[in-house]
């Protein structure tokens, strides 16, 4: 169970940092379509914190484990926060960073899924739900990229 708890804590940290990345992106992005993008970033940020992080924290509680100390989140996280563009008008840059964050999350969740597959149906179901959402997030961000932006992911 120690290994599963460590994996869930890492995933929890990933979710909080992904939430913050999109929360920040919603404020930072400028220029064309930035108003529409703000909404997309806010909506997906809400999924990461309100849905995914919550599901993981609730599952950790089943093992009597509390959410980690705020100062430990960065160390615990596997994906951390993808680097954001320096230029606030670089819309594709924000989207490419988001696509990368989603791909990292997907890779991590697939590992957790194969670890629990066939032995922990409760966690398996939670991870399966989250994987479905992350795949959808990746598609949403990728579809917003310009043609040139597609080459950056």
Rounded least distance, CB 10 to Fe ion, Å:
13
Nearest to 9 by CA among 57, 52, 44: 57
Binder among 8, 12, 26, 48 for Fe ion (CB under 5 A):
48
The Cα 29–Cα 26 span in angstroms is: 6
Part in contact with Fe ion (CB under 5 A); list of ranges 56-64, 77-85, 87-95, 127-135: 127-135
Binder among 137, 141, 144, 149 for Fe ion (CB under 5 A):
137
Q: Using CB under 5 A as the criterion, what x/- string covers residues 60-99 for binding Fe ion?
A: ----------------------------------------
Binder among 10, 37, 40, 52 for Fe ion (CB under 5 A):
52
Rounded least distance, CB 134 to Fe ion, Å:
4
* For Fe ion, the closer CB: 15 or 90: 15
Contacts of 14 (CB under 8 A, 6+ apart): 77, 78, 79, 80, 104, 105, 108
Rounded least distance, CB 141 to Fe ion, Å:
9
- Contact between 4 and 65 under an 8 Å Cβ cutoff? The reply is no
* For Fe ion, the closer CB: 23 or 87: 23
DSSP string, 47-115: IIIIIIIHHHHHHHHHTT-PPPPGGGHHHH-SS--PPPPSSTT-HHHHHHHHHHHHHHHHHHHHHHHHH
- Residues of this chain that bind Fe ion (CB under 5 A): 15, 48, 52, 102, 134, 137
């Amino acid at each position: 169970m120690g290994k599963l708890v460590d994996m869930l804590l890492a995933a929890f940290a990933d979710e909080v940092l992904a939430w913050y990345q999109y929360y920040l992106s919603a404020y930072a992005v400028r220029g064309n379509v930035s108003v529409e993008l703000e909404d997309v970033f806010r909506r997906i940020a809400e999924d990461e914190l309100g849905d995914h992080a919550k599901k993981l924290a609730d599952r950790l509680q089943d093992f009597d484990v509390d959410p980690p100390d705020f100062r430990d989140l960065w160390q615990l996280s596997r994906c951390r926060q993808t680097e954001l563009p320096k230029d606030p008008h670089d819309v594709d840059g924000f989207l490419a960073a988001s696509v990368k964050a989603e791909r990292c999350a997907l890779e991590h969740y697939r590992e957790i899924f194969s670890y629990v597959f066939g032995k922990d149906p409760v966690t398996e179901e939670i991870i399966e739900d989250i994987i479905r959402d992350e795949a959808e997030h990746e598609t949403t961000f990728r579809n917003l990229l310009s043609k040139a932006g597609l080459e950056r992911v």
